[in-house]
Amino acid sequence: MNRENEPRRTKAARIGGFANVEAVSVGGDSPVVVQTMWKDRLCEHDLEGTARRVMGLGDMGCRVLRFAVPDIDSARVLGRLAGMVSMPLVADIHFDYRIALRCMDFPIAKIRINPGNIGKRENVREVVEKAAAGSVPIRIGVNAGSLPRDIAEKVEGGMCRAQALVEAAERELAAFDEFGFDNVLVSMKASEIADTVSANRIFSGRSDVPLHVGVTEAGPLVAGIVRSSAALAPLLAEGIGDTVRVSLSDSVENEVIAAREICGAAAELAAMSGRSSERLRRGGVRVVSCPRCGRHGFDVHGFMSRWLNRLYALNRDLTVAVMGCEVNGPGEARHADLGITGAGNRVLIFRKGKVARTVFAGDADRAFEDALAEAMGDGAKAI
């Protein structure tokens, strides 16, 4: 491999690994970590239901989960949840450093702060000292919309926004260095693709601090995935980015699916360029499906809505095809390990292009479930 094609190497940060919390390594040679952020305020009366959903996200490939913590009481509720699940949970703190201190009384695995908005230097010192004592990493989160006042004024005067994001991140890192704390990660996020890409490229050329990459406020499902893919796939293919979150105005499950698919696309881009793609490779089911048209004899959309999350929670390297008619399946999906399509009032289950079973439409889900279990083989487990 040419030296210019060698992947960027960062320091490794360890998230979790204490109490009941799984240890997740971010950076170094570790695989790129997929994460998401909870969409709602935590409700103490339904923590068991929340814990079940968190475990479901883990089955789908999410390794780290972040929560907004707007007040002290929310810190206590998040602390209770952290004791109920093994996935590392992250507390996202703004404005009040005392919330960060309270979070670290519990097995919360990481703190996300923007040091510029939690007050005076002594506040940052208290957070850093408690994090150091508990081996809790801190992510410095810099957003284009909340730059320090003096740097924002430079942007108004013509400074490149990407350079401004980098300057803000480096300023906060320097403050942490003064406190002797280096268990940090950095994110520099903008809603603009060019700013996100440029900032992360600039920073990666100057620092070995692990990078959390993402496009902030990317938009609703379709727009958000398109914008995130355009920004993140090239960065990840270049070896820039150690953990990724796709920010969508949609479900946490769809954020995880989108991040996994972007990592997969980045792996293909990296391989095309002669770069290593090992950190980006993901096992599990690959789903291919037709868009559906007026010729369809099978409700692809309805089937996918029922099955998508379940398929992404499987740990077998299978290609599953969901096709709307006999034109696309099994013919165009003959490469699939398992597939389903419709023909009239019947549904065809096929494997490697050959029809394995024909059932009535009402029996489609049960027949597919049986065929999937057979394709998976005995002893299959969720990821």
Same domain, 180 and 89: yes
Q: How far is CA 135 from CA 127, 172, 307, in A?
A: 12, 19, 40
Residues 240 and 292 in one domain: no
CB neighbour class for 294 (10 Å; exposed up to 12, middle 13-18, buried from 19): exposed
Percent above pLDDT 90 for the chain? 68
pLDDT at res. 378: 41
Is the omega angle on the peptide bond into residue 148 within 30 degrees of 0, that is, cis?
A: no
pLDDT for 289: 87
- Mean pLDDT within 197-218: 95
Cα dist from 22 to 82, 88, 108, 242, whole Å: 11, 6, 11, 18
Q: Which of 230, 256, 280 is the last residue of a domain?
A: 280
Structure tokens at 83: 């004791």
pLDDT reported for residue 1: 38
Task: Give the mean model confidence (pLDDT) for residues 157-171.
Answer: 95
Cβ atoms of 42 and 67 closer than 8 Å: yes
CATH number of residue 88's parent domain: 3.20.20.20
Do residues 269 and 307 share a domain? no
| Domains contained in the chain, number | 2
254 is a domain residue: yes
Quote the pLDDT of residue 145: 84
Residue 155 to residues 26, 145, 173, 187, 195: CA-CA distances in angstroms? 32, 11, 20, 19, 12
Helix residue spans in 20-160 (DSSP H): 47-59, 72-82, 97-103, 121-134, 149-156
The model carries a pTM of 0.90
pLDDT > 90? residue 354? no
> Above 70 in pLDDT, residue 19?
yes
Q: Which domain holds residue 354?
A: 286-376
What are the tens digits of pLDDT across the range 84-125? Answer: 999 999 999 988 999 999 999 999 999 998 766 776 788 888
Q: Is the pLDDT at 66 greater than 90, yes or no? A: yes
Residue 382 lies in a domain: no
| Rounded mean pLDDT, 310-337 | 82
DSSP calls for 324-359: SSTIIIIIITTT-SEEEEEETTEEEEEETTEEEEEE
Mean pLDDT of the chain: 90
Tokens encoding 64: 């780290």
Give the CATH number, domain containing residue 343: 3.30.413.10
pLDDT of residue 253: 97
**Res. 258: pLDDT tops 50:** yes
Q: Tell me, yes or no, whether 166 lies in a domain.
A: yes
Residue 186 DSSP label? E
- For the ranges 253-262, 289-298, 345-354, the maximum mean pLDDT occurs at 253-262
